[in-house]
């Protein structure tokens, strides 16, 4: 959630980027410069010492070593700037062991929750979950969508029988810095996905290296919305880091798959798809007038050509941002006037977009997490205590200023597939802001060795308990699936179907 806010301030980002550069309109940098500042091996050698004294490292080995009353700190000499603090925290799900803590990156601190599997924690896979935004707290995923408990009213947490920890150990992480209970001591910030990826990759390596019980365990990276931008880069960082880990005698992370829910992986496919969702029978009857649809349709070819020239064929920050801002305004404005929920076109927005993302239930989880006794119990550091916010608009604005959303992650997804990492793209059919039409378009257009096999697969129905659950196509480790009548937050709208979806996926079964 939160992609909406990024779109709304993109025009401001354009103006600010010009001012920050003294009014010059030079390019922000080519995509190759941004994504590959150095060769991968050079990058890891520069960021981490080539050798370390292995005798200085003693792993914790088991989570049983952790305390209930205070944090246990651990790290690894290969990552000298990083430490992890965690403790056992009994809350939310009394049937499993649960933990909370911080990833300390010098003066920056990322908060996380970890829940063991309800089934077989000693053997089940591990899932990493992040919400989107940028700036959205993963507490939304935990307490509203797929976590072991939900906070849906003023009564507080209640047991969630369809939690994704039914068959998996799962992390929920507030990232980047400034999100949820994460904070920086001296105003440090992260404003690009590439920066955020380094922190996540280091944390994952440290965790698996310290706890022998999880070494070699299948690891899945999952999330939604802006996760379509986050996850491919996070996964790529982890995969590329594995070579360095092996070289230095550490155990590589068994990166099994990436699971992107209602993601914004390619804004250039998504913008024209907004017209389809509003004016054609893609999921629901058209919601705009004939006149509005005709006017919008005339703009689509111009927008497509302009964005292709300035964003795809040659990335120029000023021209690309201008093209995208114009097209967003032209194509999105009619939708906002309808009063519909951009995350679920089948309903009206309740509670205000900026206040509750059109879901009043978010106010309940925010009030729960704002309680001082709750914050103390889960181990929130004093500087991060106070009124909890599900989204940090300063983080969103910082990412917008770097134009982070304008860099697609489709090539990263294709490269991950080529390297044997499976990818699942699932989309609720009623979502507008990161809709299934735009997501299907880039999945079909993505160039990789399995493209022909994937494109030649027709969409087929998938079912749960004999009932229609959506449509899907799959080939060579790549799967696209819609979830019928779900919005942006699929696990919230369709808890049974979403759990079956990821259970089948982790088991390597066809949907």
Count of the separate structural domains present in the chain: 1
Could you give the CA distance from residue 115 to residue 123 in angstroms, rounded to a whole number? Answer: 14
Residue/partner pairs of 275-282 with CB below 8 Å, 24 or more apart? 275/300, 275/331, 276/435, 276/437, 277/345, 277/432, 277/435, 277/437, 278/334, 278/335, 278/432, 282/435, 282/436, 282/437
CA distances from 223 to 6, 187, 492 (A): 18, 27, 13
Q: Which two tokens stand for residue 230?
A: 């986050």
* CB contact at 8 A, 397 and 457: no
Provide CB contacts within 8 A for 134, sequence distance 6+. 2, 6, 176, 179, 193, 226, 230, 395, 396, 399, 404
- Which of 289, 281, 230, 279 has its CA nearest to residue 413? 230
- Which of 107, 70, 110, 132 has its CA nearest to residue 207? 110
With 90 as the cut, is the pLDDT of residue 26 above it? no
Average pLDDT over residues 456-472: 97
Q: Which two tokens stand for residue 412?
A: 């990263």
Specify the pLDDT at position 44: 46
With 50 as the cut, is the pLDDT of residue 20 above it? no
pLDDT bracket for residue 52 (50, 70, 90): low
Mean pLDDT, the chain, whole residue set: 90
Catalytic residue among 98, 138, 139, 225: 225
Catalytic residue among 17, 412, 488, 493: 488
With 60 as the cut, is the pLDDT of residue 165 above it? yes
Specify the pLDDT at position 55: 60
pLDDT bracket for residue 58 (50, 70, 90): confident
Could you give the CA distance from residue 467 to residue 193 in angstroms, rounded to a whole number? Answer: 38
Rg (CA), the chain: 22
Q: What residue numbers bound the domain in which 382 lies?
A: 1-511
Whether residue 364 lies in the annotated active site:
no
pLDDT bracket for residue 166 (50, 70, 90): very high
Structure confidence by residue, pLDDT tens digits, 79-130: 999 999 999 999 899 899 999 999 999 999 999 999 999 999 999 999 999 9
* Highest mean pLDDT (candidates 3-7, 23-27, 89-93, 451-455): 451-455
pLDDT bracket for residue 75 (50, 70, 90): very high
Place of tokens 């849906």: 152
CATH number at residue 434: 3.40.50.1820
Element (H, E) at 366: helix 361-369
Whether residue 412 lies in the annotated active site:
no
Specify the pLDDT at position 2: 52
Whether residue 488 lies in the annotated active site:
yes
Specify the pLDDT at position 317: 93
Catalytic residue among 269, 431, 474, 493: 431
With 70 as the cut, is the pLDDT of residue 7 above it? no
Element (H, E) at 256: strand 255-263
What sign for the dihedral angle of Cα 6, 143, 353, 262? Answer: positive
Specify the pLDDT at position 1: 53
* CB contact at 8 A, 213 and 220: no
Specify the pLDDT at position 413: 98
Could you give the CA distance from residue 184 to residue 322 in angstroms, rounded to a whole number? Answer: 33
Structure confidence by residue, pLDDT tens digits, 134-156: 999 999 999 999 999 999 888 88
């Amino acid at each position: 959630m939160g992609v909406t806010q990024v779109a709304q301030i993109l025009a401001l980002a354009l103006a600010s980027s010009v001012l920050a550069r003294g009014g010059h309109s030079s390019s922000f940098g080519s995509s190759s410069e941004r994504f590959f500042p150095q060769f991968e091996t050079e990058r890891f050698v520069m960021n981490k010492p080539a050798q370390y004294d292995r005798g200085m490292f003693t792993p914790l080995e088991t989570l049983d070593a952790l305390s209930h009353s205070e944090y246990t700190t651990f790290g690894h000499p290969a990552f000298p700037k990083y430490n992890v603090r965690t403790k056992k925290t009994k809350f939310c799900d009394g049937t499993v062991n649960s933990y909370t803590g911080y990833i300390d990156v010098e003066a920056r601190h990322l908060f996380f929750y970890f829940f063991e599997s309800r089934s077989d924690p000693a053997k089940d896979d591990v899932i990493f979950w992040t919400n989107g935004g940028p700036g959205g707290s993963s507490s939304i995923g935990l307490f509203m969508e797929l976590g072991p408990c939900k906070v849906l009213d003023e009564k507080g947490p209640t047991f969630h029988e369809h939690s994704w920890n039914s068959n998996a150990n799962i992390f929920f992480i507030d990232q980047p810095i400034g999100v949820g209970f994460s904070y920086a001591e001296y105003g440090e910030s992260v404003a690009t996905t590439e920066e955020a990826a380094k922190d996540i990759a280091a944390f994952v390596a440290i965790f698996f290296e310290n706890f022998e019980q999880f070494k070699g365990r299948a690891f899945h990276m999952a999330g939604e919305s802006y996760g379509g931008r986050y996850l491919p880069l996070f996964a790529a960082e982890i995969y590329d880091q594995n070579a360095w880990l092996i070289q230095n005698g550490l155990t590589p992370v068994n990166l099994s798959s990436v699971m992107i829910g209602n993601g914004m992986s390619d804004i250039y496919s998504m913008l024209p798809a907004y017209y389809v969702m509003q004016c054609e029978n893609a999921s629901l009857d058209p919601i705009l007038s004939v006149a509005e649809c005709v006017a919008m349709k005339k703009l689509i070819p111009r927008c497509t050509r302009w964005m292709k020239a300035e964003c795809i064929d040659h990335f120029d920050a000023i021209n690309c941002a201008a093209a995208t801002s114009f097209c967003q305004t032209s194509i999105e404005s009619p939708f906002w006037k309808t009063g519909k929920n951009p995350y679920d076109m089948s309903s009206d927005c309740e509670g205000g977009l900026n206040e509750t993302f059109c879901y009043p239930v978010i106010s309940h989880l925010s009030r729960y997490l704002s309680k001082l006794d709750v914050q103390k119990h889960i181990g929130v550091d004093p500087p991060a205590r106070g009124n909890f916010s599900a989204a940090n608009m300063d983080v969103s604005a910082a990412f917008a200023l770097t134009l982070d959303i304008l860099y697609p992650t489709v090539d990263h997804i294709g490269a991950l597939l080529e390297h044997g990492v499976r990818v699942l793209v699932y989309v609720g059919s009623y979502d507008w802001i990161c809709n299934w039409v735009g997501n299907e378009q880039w999945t079909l257009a993505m160039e990789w060795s399995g493209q022909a096999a994937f494109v030649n697969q027709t969409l087929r129905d998938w079912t749960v308990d004999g009932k229609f659950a959506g449509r899907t196509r799959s080939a060579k480790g790549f799967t696209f699936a819609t979830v019928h009548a779900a919005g942006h937050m699929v696990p919230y709208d369709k808890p049974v179907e979403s759990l079956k979806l990821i259970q089948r996926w982790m088991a390597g079964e066809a949907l």
